[in-house]
Amino acid sequence: MKYLAALILLFSLTALSGCTNAAVRRMPINHVDLTQVKDGDYSGDYAYGGFSYEVKVSVADHQVKDLVIVKNRTTKHAKMAEGVVKRILEQQKNDVDAISGATTTSKALLKATENALAKGQ
């Protein structure tokens, strides 16, 4: 009986984890109009799955001058997701495409960036 209860618990936790990941992958990233963001350094975060992703964004003359990932996981996919930084800096917008193969973490970093930039409006 204990074995069955443990299996049910494990299955439930796995299913909930997958739902969380799917929800993050579908989560919209809202465009932040950089012409409305004041010069400054802004920190933002986004938490899911028991982890908080954190970024620091530097804005000057209505442009993202620097974007530093302060806190990220250390998995292969998390490191791949850091490619969104280059996209944001090149395209000068926060709602860039996620990195294929690292969509969930990309979206978490993009949402943290959105949250940071929103503080400057």
Q: Which CATH number goes with the domain that contains 46?
A: 3.90.1010
Give the confidence band of 7 by pLDDT, cuts at 50, 70, 90. Answer: very low
Length of the chain: 121
Handedness of CA 76, 10, 52, 91 (dihedral sign): positive
Which pTM was predicted? 0.85
Q: What is the pLDDT of residues 10-61, one digit of tens each?
A: 444 444 444 589 999 999 999 999 999 999 999 999 999 899 999 999 999 9
Token digits of residue 83: 């490619």
Where in the sequence is the domain holding 82, given as residue range(s)?
2-118
Q: Using CB atoms within 10 Å of the CB of residue 4, give its burial: 0 to 12 exposed, 13 to 18 middle, 19+ buried.
A: exposed
Secondary structure class of 42 (helix, strand, coil): strand
Count of domains forming the chain: 1
